[in-house]
Amino acid sequence: MLGDIESWMIAPIAAVASVLTAVYFNRYIKRQEQGTDRMRFVAEAIKEGAKAFLNRMYRTLLIFVAAISILLLIFLPQPIWSSQTPLNNIKLTLAYLFGSFCSALAGYLGMDVATDANLRSANAARKGLAKSFQIAFRGGAVMGLSVVGLALLGVSIIYLLTGDASMITGFSFGASAMALFAKAGGGIYTKTADIGADLVGKVEMDLPEDDPRNPAVVADNVGDNVGDVAGMGADLFDSYVASLMATIVLGSVFGGQLKSLSLVFAGVGCFAAIIGALSVKVGETSDPGKILNRGTYLTCAIYASLTLISSYLLKYDYRIWGASTTGLLVGIVIGVTSDYFTSINRTPARKTAEASVTGTAINIITGYSYGLLSVFPPLIGIGLAALVSYNLCSSIGPEYGVYGVGAAAFGMLSIVGMVVTNDSFGPIGDNAKGIAEQSSLELEMIDILDKLDAAGNTSKAITKGFAIGAAGLTVISILAAFKEVAEEKLGTTIMFDLMDPLVLVGALIGLAIPAIFSAQVMLGVGKNAFKMIEEVRRQFREISGLREGREGVKPDYARCVDIATKGALRELMPASIVAITTTLLVGLVFGIKALGGYLSGAIFSGLVFALLMSNAGALWDNAKKYIEEGALGGKGSEAHKAAVVGDTVGDPFKDTAGPSLNTLITVMGLVANVFLPLFIAFSLM
């Protein structure tokens, strides 16, 4: 089908365009001035710490990657001793390795440019908001466009070389497993450092945020880069690839146009993100948060229009476009409602702040309760998106229904370039402010950088909504792909009937996995934060003149960086390996049906906890900020102290456990898909 090949080739072309735009932005940033010696010194320390951590993390993960590679090589898609096509085992292993590599590369590149952009953005604050914003935004865009470009290029290359959807599953599994480790490791790192810096520096010693006397301050800034930039980039890389993979697998079961439709739409989405990213600019007096959101909405509109035109040109059924657009709309709705539950200007954050007056316990109960409430709109949104897109497409033909759900998922993810851009913008702004504070720049500059920081928080709510919603739909379509492929291989119809005790037992086990994973990483944070706190306290005690800020007295930043690094490396593997192993065990012991229930259970509790933890965490953060802006007694009041504790509880909720759960459930789904032949061959039931 030449027509088919021609049309989907838009995907690699768009991917290359995306990467080139990222290169252009990167050169733009490198050209900017770097500021004073002190600033360069601080930025260098952050960059080095981040690089060192990522290097060590990826090196540690080599063992895991090697182990999985051997497993794949021997057993999949067929045990090599009984396989007619042993070459496929090599191909799958290579696809897996390529996925792991691309995911790591995207994280690394993003971190690299972010640590260039933060310094230059801080320095540009001398020239005003517009320039400073531009640098930070383009820094984010390098990450955003690299993620989407590399992902789409990787998928296209594999599709081009093998033409086999199951190889894309291998690629996707590699990317997701890497992302899970990167999120867990980065998340543990960043919160270990953050809590250490806050609890001793801010609460006990009364130092301001990012004060250079605080021994954990560099580790804290490093954490923003390895957690928020590299971690988040890897996360969306993985969701994006997984949603493409699910629709390509479903498409290749159904055949026809569906085989490559999602690649075409993804290519179009890539262009939409490039145009969106190029269009974002602020004036000196504009509200950068609004501008960021406007950029997101613009990208959505471009995407919807371009895919409509493509559907016309390529004679796709419009109902598939409808499903994809439904996903997009629901993504926006989820973002807006998450914004309500977390925004500093809304009832939940205000009420939580007010509750702080009565003490810490009521602050926590109130924030947690609003977090619980916040799960409702997104769950309804995801459910309705699935229902509408399914019914829309099943009117084409009954088998198209599940494809519709997949289309809704990649509709939500289509603008991932823009989502990652905004997400990476946040830590760049945050770091720029940190560098300015630590280099004692003028107050006006810090004010400007404050605005960047706040804008990052505003846009985060919307983009996080997208990320969680999209992950939900993606994993549902991964589950659908799992079922379709299993049915094809077994030649029977499979139902995941909740009244079937195998499905039920699977679901009950699956439910527990996100809980266990969250617990493990949060306990990891708790344990490391304990050590960090002890170390920071020790430095203040033993280094004389540190607290008073005596000339020439410096804390030992490196030691804190080291504690965060070692702790994160020790803790990042176990939780992920438990999840992967349990998935294999359920498949091998209880079989396909139980695995369907298991994945559903994991999706269910994964979504609930991801939403609860992300939103409650953001809410506590903003309740604290609201008090810091002067309400209810302001900084230093009892209410403020209570709110700081709430914020600290929220830290691992929103930055370690919550956002890893997307990736967790995706990885579980991919393990099920990749190892499906094993389960069919060896399952006990």
- Contact set for a second copy, span 435-454 (CB under 8 A): none
Tell me the window of 3-11, 18-26, 320-328, 501-509 that interacts with a second copy (CB under 8 A).
Answer: 501-509
Q: Dihedral of the CA atoms 168, 173, 178, 182 (nearest 10)?
A: 110
Q: Tokens at residue 403, please?
A: 């494809």
CB neighbours of residue 314 within 10 Å: 17
610 binds a second copy (CB under 8 A): no
* Binding-residue total with a second copy (CB under 8 A): 77
- Nearest 5°: the CA angle 655, 660, 661 is 125
Q: Please give the DSSP secondary-structure letter assigned to residue 76.
A: S
- Distance between CA atoms of residues 560 and 566, nearest Å: 10
User: What's the one-letter identity of residue 226?
Assistant: V
* Residue 330 φ then ψ, to 5°: -65, -35
Kindly state the smallest distance separating residue 367's Cβ from a second copy, in Å. Answer: 10
Binders of a second copy among 119-178, rule CB under 8 A?
A: none
Binders of a second copy among 307-366, rule CB under 8 A?
A: 355, 358-362, 364-366
Kindly state the smallest distance separating residue 467's Cβ from a second copy, in Å. Answer: 17
501 binds a second copy (CB under 8 A): yes
Q: Tokens at residue 667, please?
A: 């990885």
- Distance between CA atoms of residues 676 and 666, nearest Å: 15
Member of 151, 207, 291, 529 binding a second copy (CB under 8 A):
529
522 binds a second copy (CB under 8 A): yes
Question: How far are the Cα atoms of 222, 337, 442 from residue 431, in angstroms, in the given order?
Answer: 9, 28, 16
**Do the beta carbons of residue 193 and residue 219 sit within 8 Å?**
yes
Kindly state the smallest distance separating residue 511's Cβ from a second copy, in Å. Answer: 5
Tell me the window of 40-48, 142-150, 376-384, 426-434 that interacts with a second copy (CB under 8 A).
Answer: 376-384
Tell me the window of 15-23, 49-57, 605-613, 623-631 that interacts with a second copy (CB under 8 A).
Answer: 605-613
User: What's the one-letter identity of residue 491?
Assistant: G
Q: Dihedral of the CA atoms 434, 435, 441, 446 (nearest 10)?
A: -40
Member of 72, 104, 302, 645 binding a second copy (CB under 8 A):
645
479 binds a second copy (CB under 8 A): yes
- Distance between CA atoms of residues 321 and 404, nearest Å: 9
Kindly state the smallest distance separating residue 371's Cβ from a second copy, in Å. Answer: 8
Q: Please give the DSSP secondary-structure letter assigned to residue 575.
A: H
Member of 419, 476, 592, 668 binding a second copy (CB under 8 A):
476
- Nearest 5°: the CA angle 56, 58, 61 is 110
Member of 81, 499, 552, 684 binding a second copy (CB under 8 A):
499
Choice between 108 and 341, CB closer to a second copy: 341
Binding mask 180-199 for a second copy (x = CB under 8 A): ---------------x---x
Tell me the window of 261-269, 292-300, 385-393, 661-669 that interacts with a second copy (CB under 8 A).
Answer: 385-393
Question: How far are the Cα atoms of 83, 95, 104, 249, 589 from residue 69, in angstroms, in the given order?
Answer: 17, 10, 16, 22, 23
First to last CA, the chain: 42
Buried b (16+ CB within 10 A) or exposed e, 502-515: bbbbbbebbbebbb
* 98 CB-near residues (< 8 Å, 6+ apart): 154, 157, 158, 171, 174
Choice between 1 and 365, CB closer to a second copy: 365
Tell me the window of 256-264, 320-328, 413-421, 473-481 that interacts with a second copy (CB under 8 A).
Answer: 473-481
Tell me the window of 85-93, 182-190, 212-220, 527-535 that interacts with a second copy (CB under 8 A).
Answer: 527-535
Member of 62, 74, 498, 681 binding a second copy (CB under 8 A):
498
**Do the beta carbons of residue 512 and residue 605 sit within 8 Å?**
yes
Member of 46, 280, 507, 661 binding a second copy (CB under 8 A):
507
- Distance between CA atoms of residues 140 and 459, nearest Å: 12
Binding mask 203-222 for a second copy (x = CB under 8 A): x-------------------
573 binds a second copy (CB under 8 A): no
Member of 12, 99, 170, 596 binding a second copy (CB under 8 A):
596
Question: How far are the Cα atoms of 31, 217, 355, 627 from residue 643, in angstroms, in the given order?
Answer: 42, 21, 9, 8
Tell me the window of 58-66, 154-162, 209-217, 603-611 that interacts with a second copy (CB under 8 A).
Answer: 603-611
Binding mask 395-434 for a second copy (x = CB under 8 A): ------xx--x-----------------------------
Member of 483, 624, 640, 654 binding a second copy (CB under 8 A):
483
Choice between 57 and 200, CB closer to a second copy: 200
Member of 157, 298, 336, 372 binding a second copy (CB under 8 A):
372
Member of 273, 471, 511, 580 binding a second copy (CB under 8 A):
511
Q: Dihedral of the CA atoms 22, 24, 26, 27 (nearest 10)?
A: 170
Closest CA to 575 of 506, 517, 528: 517
Kindly state the smallest distance separating residue 512's Cβ from a second copy, in Å. Answer: 4
Closest CA to 650 of 363, 390, 445, 455: 363
Choice between 86 and 359, CB closer to a second copy: 359
Choice between 104 and 533, CB closer to a second copy: 533
Q: Please give the DSSP secondary-structure letter assigned to residue 206.
A: -
584 binds a second copy (CB under 8 A): no
564 binds a second copy (CB under 8 A): no
Q: Please give the DSSP secondary-structure letter assigned to residue 201.
A: I
